[in-house]
Chains A and B, each alone.
Chain A
Amino acid sequence: MPNDKNEANKRLIEKMNDLEKDYGQKFSNTQKILLTTDGSITAILDVLYGKISLFTLDQHFGTADADHAKLVNVNEGDEINFREVIMHKGAKPLIYAISHVPLGRCSEEICSDLLRADIPIGRILKNYKIESRREVNNIFIEKPDEKLQDLFKTDEDFLARDYVIINNDEILMWIKEMFPVSYFTEI
């Protein structure tokens, strides 16, 4: 078969390869899929584990400091919804995620769903048929803080990625997802 060259996902593949090289460890297929998918990971976890649950650890409104403003491309002082959730199967935590959503870019209905606990962002986008695209910014290793150590009962390294959901050419959401490096290694 002739090779019509496809390099559209090269950036993602390179990010995965670079991380494996830097960390000195090969990652499993499931870990790679979770870190690179341009869709929602909720559906993937659901397929892998059956019914999973979402628990909102915290959600509040606040003003963007310089770092937040840069992540979602707003001005310092703009209002942002900060949300912190954990997806789990029974008693086992699976993935921790934080999101920043600039309120100026949210419709009233999205803002209201963000306020209601335990609705995944992918589901909110689907419910309101929000046309969007996703861009993975970084795939990396991060040391867990005390909160993550406590939630996952481990002090091992975490695999992480951060990405943005873009709507109307503006960042609607910035999301970071993390899980321990020993998770999802079976396949």
Chain B
Amino acid sequence: MRANDDDILSTAQLWREQGKGVALATVVETWGSAPRPIGSHLVIDEDGLFLGSVSGGCVEGDVVAQALEVIETGAATTLEFGVADETAWRAGLSCGGRISVYVERID
């Protein structure tokens, strides 16, 4: 898992150095049962290519979509996912947990 994080952060640096627009998503809070621990990363490039995970695959699609906007605007944002959200049915966590994901652009 940690080696994985190494790959993700190195990839984030590599992609940016190659001149691509890059965003980094990080799980910053979890409530209840969450599939990935706090601190887990997902790196996304301007074409929507991504590496890593912030959940068991349930919310990655939404995070990638939001990340493309963050790459565009440069404004970091915190996304929340969970059963209490209206997004639950669209991009919900079947495990019933809640997670908060911070998405920032690599400048």
Asked if A and B are interacting partners, one says no
**Which residues of B are at the interface with A, using a C-beta cutoff of 8 A?**
none
